[in-house]
């Protein structure tokens, strides 16, 4: 019998699966055991609020702050639950319901990361009302408060040692105060790591394996790491620097390393609705670069064509900017905390390539020098009718031609939509993202006198590109492995005029599966089915390990 | 043709999403519908951060780091000043 050698690709896939399996238990084992126990004196405190109508209704209203993590019915399955460790407790379970009112009150008051302490935000009465509401969530009715705990509650144990009644005892208020101070001290100790105040070094990175399916070109690994520096010398001022350190290999076997600065900016908070700044900044053109670019946010291993390899719009530019957001309170009735967001900027803008026979007519977004005095002016106006939906329109108008070439103006426009919604009947979160770019470069004649050997070349230089992405993550699944999976489909395309020497019309369908090891560490596998109008297209298989810090 | 399709697709999706956000919320969640000023930090954290990325657990950074990180996110995600303050307070209290 003939044995088939195991192909490299299936070997790699096996490694990927092994990686997922070996890391699952380690992620699970991080969960701390349930060692959160109220001190006996606290557990025995008696609830002064009778568990009747008004108290429960008030508690229910306050419970809206808890829903995000504990879920609408208190099952510990709120929207944020999937990211939290330890996971939010199921408030309906016997484990919770068999605790005394005093114990629940103490836990609400003190909190334990990631649960915040509510002792300051909520009054004592609020917290007791909340306890009364939590009681109504019980899946099994707990027995009336055990007799054993009610008796000493009349004479709390703090009093036990003091025979002559009271003067040496610690009152409830004092005890609360001690706990509060202890928590503050703990926080201050955390904050006091030398060099960490007002300065954050974070960032992200990825290792990507890609394999073209048809050609004989070898499969290859690429790597990128992008440190991010934040320095906040005052509450209003923020300095940001970010750059990509990348190793790229191409199909011819050549490799190149690159350092690209993406952000080097200073920004200042003018008021609640306005920030201004300058430097090298991420251009608010559509949402992709501003919102989804980092490999722990982008759900697929590669960027959509129009925002990546065949960029039709800007990524970063040098200039000045203003931006902000304002609530639209008058629209509250039909919507849910509606908001308008706005951005405006003045920058050097893109460069029109005019004398390269292989690229004439396309725009260079990665060289930041300006070729003329016509600056790029642009902006974005966005609307969020509900917090889970953001739509926007962006534009940029610039003179992009080099000296000696006819004045050529460029109008770039983009429309974007991002919708992320937990859909309980589907057991998870649905993400839908759509962005479209229209690039209109004024008609011009390249190499008008034929001196460069490819002209005169004149064509209507109108390009389009975009993507539509749909993803589903079963965040409400009981099974932690399933909960961390995400399934993604994306269609992306670019349309380039036939006469243009560079770029070509291309569209792709890409399917992916992600496994989230933590909220910001992800393993991705994807397959892109590629169609090109002229050249032969190649499908690509990707694996990626992406992370954010 | 793409333009035409888009003109149908974009508003269509927007309306569908808007409606689901407005009316599909079950009874228990109706109390979540409120102006930004009335919402607690925990809710603003959940609603705004999850629009783009997974929730980063409050323990990811310490208090002063969260201050700078949320300031950075105010730039990235166009948060209002009020949202920034409430989200920062929530994360500082929960880390």
Threshold 0.90, pTM exceeds: no
A12's tokens: 């790699």
Examine the pLDDT at A127 and tell me if it is beyond 80: yes
Chain A contact present for B12, CB below 8 A: no
Find tokens 């939509």 and name the residue: A417
In this predicted structure, what is the pLDDT of residue A173?
A: 80
Determine the distance in angstroms separating the CA of A458 from the nearest CA of chain B, rounded to an integer.
Answer: 24
Name which of B32, B75, B93 is nearest A64 (Cβ-Cβ). B32
CA B59 to chain centre: 19
Contact B81 A464 (CB under 8 A): no
CA distance B52 to A432: 11
In this predicted structure, what is the pLDDT of residue B14?
A: 52
| Side-chain-facing half-sphere of A41: CA atoms under 13 Å | 14
CA distance A427 to A423: 6
In this predicted structure, what is the pLDDT of residue A296?
A: 96
Q: Average pLDDT, whole number, for chain A?
A: 86
Examine the pLDDT at A393 and tell me if it is beyond 80: yes
Q: A471 or A2: which carries more pLDDT confidence?
A: A471
Q: DSSP character for A46?
A: -
| pLDDT, average across residues A503-528 | 95
Which residues does chain A have within 8 Å of residue B68's beta carbon, measured at their own beta carbons?
Answer: 198-200, 230-232, 238
Give, for A481, the enclosing helix (H) or strand (E). helix A480-483
3-class SS of residue A139 = coil
Contact A199 B61 (CB under 8 A): no
Determine the distance in angstroms separating the CA of B70 from the nearest CA of chain A, rounded to an integer.
Answer: 11
In this predicted structure, what is the pLDDT of residue A171?
A: 81
Examine the pLDDT at A528 and tell me if it is beyond 60: yes
Number of H helices and E strands in chain B, helices first, is 4, 0
Shortest CA distance from A186: residue in chain B: B95
CA distance B7 to A284: 22
Name which of A114, A267, A436 is nearest B57 (Cβ-Cβ). A114
Q: DSSP character for A295?
A: T
Examine the pLDDT at A248 and tell me if it is beyond 60: yes
Chain A contact present for B23, CB below 8 A: no
Q: Which residues in A154-254 belong to E strands, given as ranges? A: 199-212, 220-231, 237-249
Determine the distance in angstroms separating the CA of A526 from the nearest CA of chain B, rounded to an integer.
Answer: 19
Contact B46 A68 (CB under 8 A): yes
| pLDDT, average across residues A398-424 | 94
| pLDDT, average across residues A41-64 | 89
Q: DSSP character for A355?
A: S
A374-386 per-position pLDDT tens digit? 899 999 999 999 9
A338-366 per-position pLDDT tens digit? 999 999 999 999 999 998 998 999 999 98
The pLDDT > 70 percentage for chain A reads: 86
Which residues does chain B have within 8 Å of residue A78's beta carbon, measured at their own beta carbons?
Answer: 46
Chain B contact present for A61, CB below 8 A: yes
For A:371-400, CB contacts with B below 8 A are 382, 385-391
Q: Which residues in A137-198 belong to E strands, given as ranges? A: none
Determine the distance in angstroms separating the CA of A81 from the nearest CA of chain B, rounded to an integer.
Answer: 9
Contact B29 A388 (CB under 8 A): no
Q: pLDDT (tens digit, 0 to 9) for every residue of chain B, 95 residues total?
A: 554 555 555 555 555 554 444 444 433 333 456 788 888 888 899 889 999 999 888 888 888 899 999 999 999 999 999 999 999 998 988 87
Contact B22 A335 (CB under 8 A): yes
Shortest CA distance from B2: residue in chain A: A464
């Amino acid at each position: 019998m003939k044995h088939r050698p195991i192909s490299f690709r299936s070997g790699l896939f096996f490694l990927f699966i092994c990686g997922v399996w070996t890391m699952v238990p380690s992620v699970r084992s991080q969960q701390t055991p349930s060692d959160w126990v109220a001190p006996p004196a606290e557990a025995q405190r008696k609830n002064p609020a009778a568990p009747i109508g008004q108290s429960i209704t008030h508690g229910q209203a306050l419970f809206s702050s808890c829903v995000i993590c504990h879920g609408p019915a208190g099952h510990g399955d709120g929207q944020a639950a999937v990211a939290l460790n330890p996971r939010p407790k199921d408030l309906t379970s016997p484990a919770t319901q068999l605790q005394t009112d005093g114990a629940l009150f103490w836990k609400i008051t003190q909190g334990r990361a990631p649960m915040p302490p509510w002792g300051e935000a909520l009054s004592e009465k609020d917290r007791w009302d909340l306890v009364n509401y939590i009681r109504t969530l019980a899946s099994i009715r707990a027995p009336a408060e055990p007799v054993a705990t009610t008796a000493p509650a009349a004479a709390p144990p703090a009093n036990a040692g003091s025979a002559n009644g009271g003067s040496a005892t610690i009152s409830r208020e004092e005890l609360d105060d001690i706990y509060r101070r202890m928590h503050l001290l703990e926080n201050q100790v955390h904050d006091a790591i030398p060099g960490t105040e007002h300065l954050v070094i974070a960032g992200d990175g990825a290792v990507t394996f890609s394999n073209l399916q048809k050609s004989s070109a070898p499969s290859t690994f690429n790597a990128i790491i992008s440190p991010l520096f934040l320095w906040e010398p005052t509450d209003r001022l923020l300095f940001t620097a970010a750059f990509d350190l990348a190793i790229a290999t191409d199909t011819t076997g050549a490799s190149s390393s690159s350092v690209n600065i993406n952000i080097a900016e200073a920004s200042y908070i003018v008021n609640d609705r306005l920030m201004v700044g300058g430097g090298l900044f991420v251009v608010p053109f559509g949402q992709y670069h501003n919102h989804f670019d980092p490999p722990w946010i982008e759900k697929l291993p590669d960027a959509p064509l129009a925002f990546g390899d065949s960029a039709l719009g800007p990524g970063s530019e040098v200039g000045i900017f203003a931006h902000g957001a304002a609530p639209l309170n008058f629209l509250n009735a039909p919507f849910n905390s509606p908001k308008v967001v706005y951005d405006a900027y003045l920058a050097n803008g893109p460069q029109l390539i005019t004398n390269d026979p292989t690229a004439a007519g396309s725009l260079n977004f990665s060289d930041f020098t300006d070729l003329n005095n016509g600056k790029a002016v642009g902006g974005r106006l966005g609307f969020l009718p509900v917090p889970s939906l953001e739509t926007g329109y962006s534009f940029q108008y610039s003179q992009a031609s080099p000296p000696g070439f006819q004045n050529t103006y460029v109008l770039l426009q983009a429309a974007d939509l991002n919708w992320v919604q937990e859909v309980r009947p589907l057991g998870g979160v649905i993400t839908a993202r759509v962005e479209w770019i229209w690039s209109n470069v004024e008609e011009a004649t390249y190499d008008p006198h034929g001196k460069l050997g490819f002209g005169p070349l004149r064509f209507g230089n109108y390009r389009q590109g975009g993507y539509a992405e749909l993803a589903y993550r079963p965040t409400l699944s009981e099974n932690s492995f399933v909960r961390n999976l995400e399934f993604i489909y994306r269609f992306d395309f670019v349309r380039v005029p036939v006469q243009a020497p560079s770029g070509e019309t291309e569209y792709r369908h890409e399917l992916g599966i992600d496994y989230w090891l933590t909220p910001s560490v992800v393993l991705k596998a994807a397959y892109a089915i590629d169609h090109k109008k002229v050249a032969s297209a190649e499908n690509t298989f990707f694996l990626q390990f992406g992370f954010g810090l | 043709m793409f333009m035409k399709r888009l003109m149908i697709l974009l508003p269509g999706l927007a309306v569908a999403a808007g409606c689901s956000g407005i009316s599909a919320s079950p009874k228990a969640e109706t109390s979540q519908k409120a102006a930004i000023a009335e919402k607690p930090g925990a809710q603003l954290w959940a609603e705004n951060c999850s629009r783009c990325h997974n929730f980063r657990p409050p323990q990811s950074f310490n208090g002063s780091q969260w201050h700078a990180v949320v300031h950075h996110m105010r730039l990235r995600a166009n948060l209002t000043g009020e949202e920034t303050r409430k989200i920062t307070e929530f994360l500082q209290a929960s880390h």
